[in-house]
Amino acid sequence: MSTVQTLMSLFGKKIICNLFGHKMITSKNITKHVKEYKCKTCQLELTNIENGHTTHLTPELRDINETLFQFNKKRILRLENV
């Protein structure tokens, strides 16, 4: 068992992120500027808000992003149909 795996089994995955930082991947592209990110290790979810800051993905923000995503998708479809 590696050190990382030992730490994980003792303290849970969050300790790994506290020690080494989150391994964020882009989980969803909402618009050109708004994206949702997820940590591969602890499953923490983040999103960026209008001013470019990254914040925790709360249920409210997830709803807003979903609305934005649907809106953006429709806009792209409309543009493609022109």
**Least distance (Å) from Zn ion to the CB of residue 20?**
9
Distance (Å, whole) CA 10 – CA 75: 49
**Least distance (Å) from Zn ion to the CB of residue 50?**
24
Residues in 38-77 that interact with Zn ion by CB under 5 A: 39, 41-42, 44
**Least distance (Å) from Zn ion to the CB of residue 80?**
37
How many residues lie near Zn ion (CB under 5 A)?
6
DSSP 27-82: EEE-SSS-EEEEETTT--EEEE-TTS-EEE--HHHHHHHHHHHHHHHHHHHHHHH-
Residues that bind Zn ion (CB under 5 A): 17, 22, 39, 41-42, 44
